[in-house]
Amino acid sequence: MQDHSSSVKSIDAKPHRSLFERLTALISPEPENRAELLEVLHDAHERNLIDADALSMIEGVFQVSDLAARDIMVPRSQMDTIDIGKPIETWMPDVLSTSHSRFPAVDGERDKVVGILLAKDLLRYYAEESFDVRDMLRPAIFIPESKRLNVLLRDFRANRNHMAIVVDEYGGVAGLITIEDVLEQIVGDIEDEYDFDEAEDNVLALKDSPTGPRWRVKGLTEISQFNDEIGSRFSDEDADTIGGLVANHVGRVPRKGDEFDIDGLHFEVLRADARQTHVLLVSTIPPASIDEE
């Protein structure tokens, strides 16, 4: 009878790990939670196993599941809309100057969003004698402020939508959000030929939280502008930008999800990479909380 023992061994045998590998596995077990996994990734970056961009995108994927629509939406006061109740000639200059590809269409007031107008559909206005803008509108998608960005991104992809209107608990329009806004949380700013680095966008007022006012602030915002917009009194002797200020405060480049308080303001890092802080969520600290500290 033929001996099959050698062939069985060759099939079942697994490569033996070295003693060093087995000891390392005991001393450094696999990460058991997200924080430990991020520590492993940061260690990999420090050892040049992954670059800063890759690390930033991986962190962005984690961060997306923690953020909600309210955290990154364009607030109602900053929305560029068109009022279809008015003649096209009255709002066409705004369409041309803002150069957006999509506009929420309202009928008289901002809470009455009746659809989404694609800028490309306005070409028919110049080509057709009879043009009714209402016939050009696409359905508007409404989502709650609390909707998680990872769920929203999945819905955007599944339904092939690019824009959603964010509503508050009373059904009023709170703002809008686009698929580009969500993707930027992962890959960083997506600039196109119509994007401008305008100083007035550096500090964006958001809807107040239960504890008070909130702002979304770009890390490259100059401290002097930050002080003017928010009413703070930070010194710009040691740093020129808010990103530099918070880096000096924590003694390193802040990471996504880091939270800390500085002189009556609460800072949360929304987006950062291994080199710098990109976006911060800043909110006021209630006086009672400051007194308790």
Res. 24: pLDDT tops 80: no
Q: What average pLDDT does range 97-102 have in this prediction?
A: 83
Quote the percentage of the chain above a pLDDT of 90.
28
pLDDT at 16 over 60: no
Quote the pLDDT of residue 33.
72
pLDDT tens by residue, 198-218: 555 788 888 777 778 888 898
What are the pLDDT digits (tens) for 165-203? 999 888 899 999 999 888 887 776 655 444 444 555 788
CB 133 within 8 A of CB 146: no
For 20, 183, 233, 264, 269, the CA distances from 244, given in Å and listed in that order, are 42, 25, 15, 18, 13
pLDDT in tens, 48-82: 887 777 777 777 787 788 888 988 888 888 888 99
Q: Phi, psi (5° rounding) for residue 284?
A: -80, 150
Residue 153 has pLDDT above 80, yes or no: yes
- What pLDDT shows up at residue 75? 87
d(CA 28, CA 33): 14
Which tokens belong to 94?
């705004």
- The pLDDT value recorded for residue 129 is 66
Are the C-beta atoms of 144 and 166 separated by less than 8 Å?
A: yes
The stretches of the chain forming alpha helices (DSSP H) are 5-12, 19-27, 34-46, 52-64, 69-72, 88-98, 123-127, 133-136, 149-159, 179-187, 223-230, 242-250, 287-292
Judge if pTM exceeds 0.75: no
> Tokens in use for 44?
């990999």
Residues 127-149: what's their mean pLDDT?
87
Q: In whole numbers, what is the pLDDT of the chain averaged over residues? A: 80
The region of weakest confidence among 20-24, 145-149, 240-244 is 20-24
**Angle at which helices 149-159 and 52-64 cross, to 10°:** 90
Q: Six-digit token pair at 61? A: 């994927």
- What is the C-alpha to C-alpha distance for residues 57 and 62, in angstroms, rounded to an integer? 9
Helix (H, G, I), strand (E, B) or coil at 179: helix
DSSP 3-state of 106: strand
* Spatial separation of the C-alpha atoms in residues 247 and 256, rounded to whole Å: 12
Q: Torsions phi, psi of 163, nearest 5?
A: -145, 145
Quick: pLDDT tens for 237-281.
888 999 999 999 988 888 878 899 999 899 998 877 667 788 888
Q: How confident is the model at residue 155 (pLDDT cuts 50, 70, 90)?
A: very high
- The set of residues, in sequence order, having a beta carbon less than 8 Å from that of 106 and lying 6+ positions away, is 81, 82, 83, 84, 112, 113, 114
Q: CB neighbours (10 Å) of residue 289?
A: 13
Q: Which pLDDT belongs to residue 45?
A: 76
**pLDDT on residue 26:** 46
What is the per-residue pLDDT for 249?
92
Place of tokens 């802040």: 254
Q: Nearest to residue 214, comparing CAs of 14, 117, 106, 70?
A: 70
Q: How far apart are CA 75 and CA 82, in angstroms?
A: 16
